[in-house]
Amino acid sequence: MAAIISPIAIADAPTRRKTFPFLLIALLLPMAVINFIAFILPVIRLGMISFIESRSGGVLTNNYTLENYANFFTDSFSFELVANSLLLGFGVTLITLCCAYPIALFLHRVSPKWRNMLFVITVSPLLVSSVVRTYGWMVILGDQGVVNGILMSSGVIDSPLRLTNNTLGVFIGMVEVLIPYMALSLIAGFGRLENVYEEAAASLGANSWTRFRRVILPLTAPGIALGCLLCFVLSISSFITPKLLGGGRVFLLATEIYDQAVIQLEWPTAAAISVIVLIIFGLALAVYSRVVKRFD
Amino acid sequence: MHTQELRHDAQDDEPVAASADDPTFLKLKGVTKRYGVDYMAVDDLDIDVPKGKLLGLLGPSGCGKSTTLRMIAGLLDITKGNISVDGDDISHEPPHKRDIGLVFQNYALFPHMTVAQNVAFGLEMRGVSRREARHRVEEALEMVRLPGFGDRKPKEMSGGQQQRVALARALVIRPRLLLLDEPLSNLDAKLRDDMRIEIREIQQRLQITTVFVTHDQVEALTMCDLVGVMHRGKLAQLGTPEDIYERPADLFVADFVGRTNVLDCEIEALDRVRIGASVYPCNTRNLTSGKAKAAIRPHRISLTPSRDRSLISIATNSTHGRVVRVTYIGDVVQYDVDIGGNVLTTEVHTASAGHSFQNGEKLLCEWKPQDMQVFGS
Amino acid sequence: MIGQMSIPFRLLVACIYLFLLAPILIVLPLSFSNDSYITFPPESWGFRWYGAMFSHSGFINALGISLTIAVTVTVLSLAAGVPAAFAIRRRRFFGRELVLNLFTAPLLLPSIVLGLAILLVFVQARLLGTYTGLIIAHLIITTPYVIRIMLTAFSTLPPSVEDAATMLGAAPFTVVRRITLPMMMPGFIASAALSFLLSFDEVVISLFITGPRLRTLPVEIFDYVESQTDPMTAAVSVVLVAATLLIIFVIERTLGLSRTIGK
């Protein structure tokens, strides 16, 4: 899946005999239809609806307005949403990096015999439904869950710690959900790291901490940047984990989009928040590309 | 001896068909490959290869030799000109109908098939019966000295073995023409020498007309009946290995094939050039004046200690020099000799060397006038 | 000395792996609880919730719906994605880069935004709560992965093997059938497995467009988890994780997951 995250070069199509245009169209057509119906059209429609005036109860009119955005920017609750989402995004990204980096370094150095199996173990949580994984965290962190059960039966605490239905629970769950993505990005970026560089640094008198700081870290920086972008973006848009572990008490942009669209049926408002989320994405991408340029 | 007989048979078989005035089997006429508006990858190539001969296309990378090979194979369209084999114009024949065997640089064995399935593939495409195919595959594997390897997968074999499977796969279909695209470049030096001999032997035994693309002049000179030296999409020279080496057509060929000293010179007269302060007789090939380049092979220069002046002969060119570097290479010693402004690279066989020179030692360099080639610049 | 790892570092990595796998591992013991609510360790053990799961008509219906959709999506993903990847890798045409970016762009869009956007179009097209709607929506999730995997697969095809087959007399269609397709097999299997799992596990977009009568299994589980806190979800999870592990195991055994998806 590293191949899925990293960019693909396609410049090397071989020079061959002539291509028949109708064959080319036939090859691309099914994909183009899917892409148009389920991607291009919806995104255009989303943008349009974010400017449409709605009457109470979510009835759409034919009038275009900036009101949906104006409401968002004048409401203090909106700022809380943005601040919560951004803080959670930054915090989760940082902790995820701290957890995934040792895993990636370990996978890079472990003998090939073990590497394949450990790689599969690292990736496999991605293939387990996030609902199931979040449910697992509810079991572990709940009032009568594993952590509280152990702490109470050993007499450390008297009443259960509140680990779910708050930001802490969401935080823990999201870090776990995102570790595989971060680890994959890091592994993709670790390709440049070879033992010889460390050996060279050691022969020049660098101790292990200096080798990490001056050789390993700079060489793996592009992977770190990619992983941080991915995790930040995924945490801003994640919905299942905040919804279930937050128990309706953690308010984020993503949960608000769902509530407005599915519960309040206020589609224009939901569309406007979605556009704002996309703008935050654009900014994150811009920061990322500036950071990456520095490494090259 | 066996080879001799086979060759004899081949000639006896076709006394009439191969008419005396046109023995050409593979004919390239004005073959051109143009990319975009004006990039000529191959420019107006004319090559005739007689039946049963091995043509080497030699040149640096990007000279158009591989492009030429791919056009003969039909894997690339030709922009202009035509290609014929045994009198049939195949210029617009699709590649799978050309009946040409091609051995790729990376062998291109099918990784999902066994060796036997690889070799049998071409026979299967030709509708050869299973029984006959099995027989012919065995024969082909024996020919390349891999009997009993049929059940292996390509990746279980060494580079040299894969190479031989690729050769067997190309030859088992009894193609009209065999093409070899840098077949030895992925092998290590020792194996390369063995494969060179083996490929040449098989080619001569089967009397199959072959085109061999290489950037290695040793391969071209030792294996081929004919060598075409290519440079920037054009044919710089076509001739026997001896022609190419002894009578290079231009400075590029002289410099690319074998090692050569190239010196700036000025033409004094039809048979004399001036290099630095000295004048040397030589063949100036109709050039009568102006600046030119003179080329001398290192091993055609003989070295004599300065004190043995009596050895100087009127028939040779000679000049005084001083050794500036001695490099021991094993079978030869290379002396770089400063002859006053220019440095000549010379070689002396260690076995025949009566005298070994020291760094800084003065000596006399001599060469025959006909060993100095002059090219206009 | 270089490249060796100290004991504390190995312990740290072990702890992180434990953290990573904890939520998946914990549901196994919990699924054998006979309690009416989540407590750990359970006060009584048994198969009560496995029995309850198989007699819960909502889960059983949803499982059938999810399987139908996932199988259809897998087939259609390959049918649409493979030719597109082939065209992008093997043909030169104007706007090739743009087409690739467009086809893989849905990967970058947050699924909550994509779900809303699809809802807004499908509500007009009357596709909400229909098989057609769910399948099209899942295809936009799976096809970008199929295209990327197949692009990699096409580019790892050893150079000139197809030319070699041509020179041995194979016509273009024969080359595809005998050489290209068999060598693409690992890519096909990886694409199919990933498409199946992505569709089967998809929840965010499905939440927007499922209807009362057509709910996929993850949506059913999501609603159940949100409203009930009993160990039945653990039993469902164990079955799902076991099925997923089985698929991963088979692929790893036959192809090597890390080779087909990883590099």
* C158-176 per-position pLDDT tens digit: 778 999 999 999 998 899 8
Range C128-136 average pLDDT: 94
DSSP at B282: -
Which 194-253 residues of chain C touch chain A by CB within 8 A? 197, 201, 203-204, 207-208, 218, 221-222, 225-226, 229, 233-234, 237, 240-241, 244-245, 247-248, 252
CB–CB of C236/C36 below 8 Å?
no
Q: How many Å lie between the alpha carbon of A296 and the closest alpha carbon of chain C?
A: 22
Q: In the predicted model, is pLDDT for residue C117 greater than 90?
A: yes
* Whole-number pLDDT of residue B310: 52
In angstroms, the Cα distances linking C124 to A41, B252, C130 are 12, 73, 13
CB contacts, 8 Å: B170 with chain C: 167-168
Q: In the predicted model, is pLDDT for residue C93 greater than 90?
A: no
Q: How many Å lie between the alpha carbon of A290 and the closest alpha carbon of chain C?
A: 18
CB spacing of C106 vs A16 below 8 angstroms: no
* Whole-number pLDDT of residue C6: 82
DSSP at C229: -
CB spacing of B111 vs C166 below 8 angstroms: no
pLDDT tens digit sequence for A108-158: 888 877 888 888 888 888 888 889 999 999 989 988 888 888 888 888 888
pLDDT tens digit sequence for B83-118: 999 989 999 889 998 999 999 988 899 988 899 999
Starting at the edge strand found earlier in the chain, the sheet holding B177-181 runs B100-103, B177-181, B209-214, B54-58, B226-231, B234-239
* Whole-number pLDDT of residue B56: 95
**Residues above pLDDT 90, as percent of chain C:** 46
At C96, the pLDDT band (50, 70, 90 cuts) reads confident
CA–CA separation, C112 vs C101, rounded Å?
A: 21
* Whole-number pLDDT of residue C248: 75
Tokens of A101: 């980096």
pLDDT tens digit sequence for B312-330: 556 678 888 889 999 988 8
Range B283-289 average pLDDT: 75
* Whole-number pLDDT of residue A12: 42
How many CB atoms are closer than 10 A to CB B263?
21
DSSP at C107: G
* Whole-number pLDDT of residue B20: 42
Q: Please confirm whether the linkage preceding C41 is cis (ω < 30° from 0).
A: yes
Starting at the edge strand found earlier in the chain, the sheet holding B362-367 runs B302-305, B362-367, B317-328, B332-338, B343-349
* Whole-number pLDDT of residue B312: 57
CB contacts, 8 Å: A142 with chain C: 38, 229
State the first-to-last Cα distance of chain A, in angstroms, to the nearest integer. Answer: 24
Three-state secondary structure readout of A89-150: HHHHHHHHHHHHHHHHHHHHHCCHHHHHHHHHHHHHHHHCCHHHHHHHHHHHHCCCCHHHHH
Q: How many Å lie between the alpha carbon of A200 and the closest alpha carbon of chain C?
A: 10
CA–CA separation, C232 vs C45, rounded Å?
A: 13
Q: Which residue does chain C place closest to B96, by CA atoms?
A: C169
Q: In the predicted model, is pLDDT for residue C7 greater than 60?
A: yes
In angstroms, the Cα distances linking C254 to A125, C185, C247 are 20, 11, 11
CB spacing of B125 vs C170 below 8 angstroms: yes
Q: In the predicted model, is pLDDT for residue A5 greater than 80?
A: no
Instruction: Tell me the average pLDDT of chain B.
Output: 86
The H-assigned helical ranges of B153-311 are 159-171, 189-206, 217-223, 241-246, 251-256
Neighbours of B, requiring at least 3 CB pairs below 8 Å, are C
Contacts for A186 with CB less than 8 Å, ≥ 6 apart:
A100, A101, A103, A104, A220, A223, A224, A227
CB–CB of A27/C113 below 8 Å?
no
Task: Name the 3-class secondary structure at B291.
Answer: strand
A82-91, B199-208, B233-242, C185-194: the lowest-pLDDT one:
C185-194
Range A93-106 average pLDDT: 93
* Whole-number pLDDT of residue B9: 41
Phi-psi region of C44 (alpha: psi -120 to 50; beta: other; left: phi over 0): beta
pLDDT tens digit sequence for C8-54: 889 999 999 999 999 999 989 989 988 888 877 788 888 889 998 88
Q: In the predicted model, is pLDDT for residue A180 greater than 70?
A: yes
- Among C2, C119, C225, whose Cβ lies nearest the Cβ of A261? C119
Q: In the predicted model, is pLDDT for residue C258 greater than 70?
A: no
**Would you give the distance in Å from CA B149 to the centre of its chain?**
32
Q: How many Å lie between the alpha carbon of B90 and the closest alpha carbon of chain C?
A: 14
Interchain CB contact of B85 with C (< 8 Å):
no
In angstroms, the Cα distances linking A21 to A25, B79, B170 are 6, 21, 34
What is A39-97 written as a DSSP string? IIHHHHHHHHHTTEEEETTTEEEEEE-SHHHHHHHH-HHHHHHHHHHHHHHHHHHHHHH
pLDDT tens digit sequence for B166-225: 999 999 999 999 999 998 888 888 888 889 999 999 999 999 999 999 999 889 999 999
Which 69-98 residues of chain C touch chain A by CB within 8 A? 79-81, 83-84, 86-93, 96-97
Provide the β-strand partners of residue B49. Answer: B26
CB spacing of A4 vs C17 below 8 angstroms: no
Q: Which residue has the tokens 């025959």?
A: B368
Task: Name the 3-class secondary structure at B117.
Answer: helix
A31 compared with B361, residue with greater pLDDT: A31
* Whole-number pLDDT of residue B229: 95
Three-state secondary structure readout of C57-97: HHHHHHHHHHHHHHHHHHHHHHHHHHHHHHHHHHCCCCCHH
Instruction: Compute the count of residue pairs across chains A and C with CB atoms less than 8 Å apart.
Output: 288
A291-295, B66-70, B248-252, B291-295: the lowest-pLDDT one:
A291-295
Number of helices (H) and strands (E), helices first, in chain B? Answer: 9, 20
* Whole-number pLDDT of residue A118: 87
* Whole-number pLDDT of residue C160: 87
Burial B358-377 (b: 16+ CB within 10 A, else e): eeebebbbbbeeebbbbbee
* Whole-number pLDDT of residue A20: 61
Contacts for C153 with CB less than 8 Å, ≥ 6 apart:
C85, C184, C186, C187, C188, C190
B352 compared with C209, residue with greater pLDDT: C209
Which ipTM did the prediction report? 0.85
CB spacing of C106 vs A240 below 8 angstroms: no
In angstroms, the Cα distances linking B377 to B268, B374, C112 are 15, 9, 72
CB contacts, 8 Å: C149 with chain A: 3-4
Q: In the predicted model, is pLDDT for residue B13 greater than 50?
A: no
Contacts for A203 with CB less than 8 Å, ≥ 6 apart:
none
At A67, the pLDDT band (50, 70, 90 cuts) reads confident
At B348, the pLDDT band (50, 70, 90 cuts) reads confident
* Whole-number pLDDT of residue A96: 96
Neighbours of C, requiring at least 3 CB pairs below 8 Å, are A, B
CB spacing of A138 vs C225 below 8 angstroms: yes
Phi-psi region of C169 (alpha: psi -120 to 50; beta: other; left: phi over 0): left
The Cα angle at residue A45 between residues C138 and C214, in degrees rounded to 5 = 35
CB contacts, 8 Å: C2 with chain A: 195, 198-199, 202
Tokens of C167: 């020179």
Neighbours of A, requiring at least 3 CB pairs below 8 Å, are C
Tokens of C231: 């160990």
CA–CA separation, A31 vs C79, rounded Å?
A: 9
CB–CB of C201/C210 below 8 Å?
no
**Residues above pLDDT 70, as percent of chain A:** 91
Q: In the predicted model, is pLDDT for residue C74 greater than 80?
A: yes
What is B72-84 written as a DSSP string? HHTSS--SEEEEE
B205-209, B355-359, C106-110: the lowest-pLDDT one:
B355-359
DSSP at C33: B
A39-43, B102-106, B266-270: the lowest-pLDDT one:
B266-270
Q: How many Å lie between the alpha carbon of A287 and the closest alpha carbon of chain C?
A: 16
Starting at the edge strand found earlier in the chain, the sheet holding B372-376 runs B278-281, B272-275, B261-269, B291-296, B372-376
CA–CA separation, A77 vs B356, rounded Å?
A: 95
pLDDT tens digit sequence for A218-256: 888 888 998 999 899 899 988 999 999 998 888 999 999
